[in-house]
Amino acid sequence: MKNIFVCLAVVLLFLGCTKEENVETKREVLRIGTDATYPPFETVDTETGEPAGFDIDLIKEICKENKWKPEIIVTPFDGIIPGLKNKKYDVVISAMTITPERSVAVSFSDPYYFAGQILAVNIDNQDIHSIDDVKGKRVGVQLGTTGEIMAKKMEGLQVFSFDNIGAAFIDMENGNLDAVLNDLPTTQTYIKQHASAKMVGEILSSEYYGIAVRQSDTALLSDINTALTKIKSDNRYNDLHMKWFNISPKGAAIELDSSGQ
């Protein structure tokens, strides 16, 4: 009988400690890794000096749903997954395409954006009209992106990788590149801000962006997906989309689908 009481006391003590530990480990801050060189998804606001963009606003809404304080950590894109795995931050939101290769290393949330690769050239370029015309040409891409992967798989291209896509566009304007291969929304944003480039040809891929977490963080992923579903179901997602892209999500999807035909 004495042994039974001792065992019961140990169990109760364990349960009490577990409850206390759960309270202590309740998440209060979400550390967010992002490469703030990719407008309109993430960039640095010139007035405030703080990260801003569609991704930034979206992750802040997710934090609001979960009562987390967002802490944004700016980091280069080519090292963003290693940084996540090394626990420099808890999540990554950085216009990151969900791919089988990346899914080996991290877990992704439900998709939150539909995009695709597009080719851009200087405004006065009359030689390149589609991807068929870039064989033997110098093509700029961002390091570590799906654009870089796609370009390197194409035969006959001279591929030049840059730390950020803005540098690739500048190099093209200076005559050092013939074209830039990049995601459609960011390319559109650059062209709106700089009248020196134009898009050519069809959209070359269909890609979905996701929020990345460590594969062990299943509870965190569930909380993110629950919040994301709620944000999509009310007007917040639509409002953010209109704010940063000046088009509704439905309109953007139709535009992307029709451009890719």
Mind listing the domains of the chain with CATH numbers? 29-114+207-259 (3.40.190.10), 117-200 (3.40.190.10)
Phi and psi (nearest 5°) for 178? Answer: -95, -25
The candidate with the shortest Cα–Cα distance to 149, out of 197, 126, 115, 181, is: 181
* Residue 186: CA count within 13 A, CB half-sphere: 30
Residue 260's pLDDT is what?
Answer: 42
What per-residue confidence (pLDDT) applies to 16? Answer: 46
Q: What is the pLDDT of residue 12?
A: 43
Cβ burial 93-125 (10 Å sphere, 16+ → b, else e)? bbbbbbeeebeeebbbbeebbbbbbbbbbbeeb
Q: Which residue, chain included where needed, has tokens 């062990």?
A: 216
DSSP state, residue 79: G
In the chain (261 residues long), the average pLDDT of successive 10-residue segments reads: 43 43 69 96 94 98 98 96 98 97 97 94 96 96 94 94 95 96 93 91 94 98 97 93 85 48 35
What pTM value is reported for the model? 0.82
Helices (H) and strands (E) in the chain, counts: 10, 14
